[in-house]
């Protein structure tokens, strides 16, 4: 079977419906974290007038800082599935089965940010997201959570028209999904990247270069004619 070429994770619901979740990589997650950090910094700055109240004001400010640091993400994740930073980039936190994140899981993933931060600047968390297939940091692994693109954020995608070509025998359902996904998103990739991914899929038939891209487009159009992804 060809190696994975997509960031979609499929989960089957108890009703037998297959749910596709597109996991978010390190870059959008880092940008969302940066925006949340700026928002929290602005809120802390707004608390500085409390210092005029002497020791009592300092205590209130420290309490506010503590709540913003540890419960700001938990509050938004449990309430809406995403902090303001994640929402701005179309991301949300879910359990790894696709269900909305709960209080316990959100608490675990956020309390373990202190571990992900080690040795500095989220070094451990970055390494974890780079080596894990679903880009999970250590807190996500412990809590059983994923950061995914919110449903409905993606634009409608269409498969470019091409002469339908039957699939070679032996391609499983996961590979068929990859073919359809490649055809739907390929126009947003550079030609070199399209060729690279298409050659992975055409390893069974031997096409290379733009011929591989054309072959995969033909397979995708053949698949799209039917009622769904065909079984092997």
Contact 29, 96 (CB under 8 A): no
pLDDT in tens, 48-80: 888 788 788 888 888 988 999 889 999 999 999
Contact 150, 90 (CB under 8 A): yes
Main-chain phi, psi angles of 146, to 5 degrees: -130, 150
Residues 20 and 96 in one domain: yes
Residues 25 and 128 in one domain: yes
Residues 65 and 115 in one domain: yes
Residues of the chain with pLDDT under 50: 1-4, 13-17, 152-156, 227-232
d(CA 65, CA 40): 9
d(CA 1, CA 4): 9
Q: Which two tokens stand for residue 56?
A: 């009592």
Residues 145 and 194 in one domain: no
Q: Write down which residue in 115, 149, 183 finishes a domain.
A: 149
3-state secondary structure at position 122: coil
Report yes or no on 71 lying in a domain. Answer: yes
Of the chain, the percentage scoring pLDDT greater than 90 comes to 36
List the domain range (segments joined by +) for residue 53. Answer: 8-149
Q: Which two tokens stand for residue 219?
A: 């397979």
Number of domains within the chain: 2
Beta-bridge partners for 94: 100, 146
Q: Write down which residue in 149, 183, 213 finishes a domain.
A: 149
Query: Among candidates 24, 173, 135, 38, which has minimal Cα distance to 89?
Result: 24
Residues 138 and 195 in one domain: no
Beta-bridge partners for 12: 18
Neighbouring CB atoms inside 10 A of 178's CB total 24
Residues 23 and 80 in one domain: yes
Residues 45 and 92 in one domain: yes
């Amino acid at each position: 079977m060809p190696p994975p070429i997509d960031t979609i994770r499929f989960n089957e619901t108890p009703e037998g419906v297959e749910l596709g979740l597109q996991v978010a990589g390190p870059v959008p997650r880092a940008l969302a974290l940066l925006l949340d950090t700026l928002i929290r910094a602005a809120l802390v700055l707004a608390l500085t007038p409390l210092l005029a109240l002497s020791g009592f004001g300092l205590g209130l400010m420290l309490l506010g800082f503590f709540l913003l640091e540890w419960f700001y993400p938990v509050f938004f994740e449990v309430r809406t599935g995403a902090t303001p930073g994640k929402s701005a980039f179309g991301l949300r936190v879910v359990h790894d089965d696709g269900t909305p994140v709960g209080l316990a899981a959100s608490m675990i993933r956020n309390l373990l940010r202190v571990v992900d931060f080690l040795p500095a600047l989220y070094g451990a968390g970055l390494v974890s997201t780079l080596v894990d297939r679903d880009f999970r940091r250590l807190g996500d692994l412990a809590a059983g959570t994923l950061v995914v693109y919110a449903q409905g954020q993606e634009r409608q995608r269409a498969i470019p028209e091409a002469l339908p070509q039957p699939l070679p025998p032996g391609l499983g359902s996961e590979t068929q999904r990859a073919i359809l996904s490649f055809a739907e998103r390929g126009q947003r990739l550079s030609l070199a990247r399209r060729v690279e991914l298409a050659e992975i899929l055409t390893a069974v038939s031997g096409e290379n270069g733009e011929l591989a891209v054309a072959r995969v487009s033909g397979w995708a159009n053949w698949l799209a004619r039917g009622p769904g992804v065909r079984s092997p």
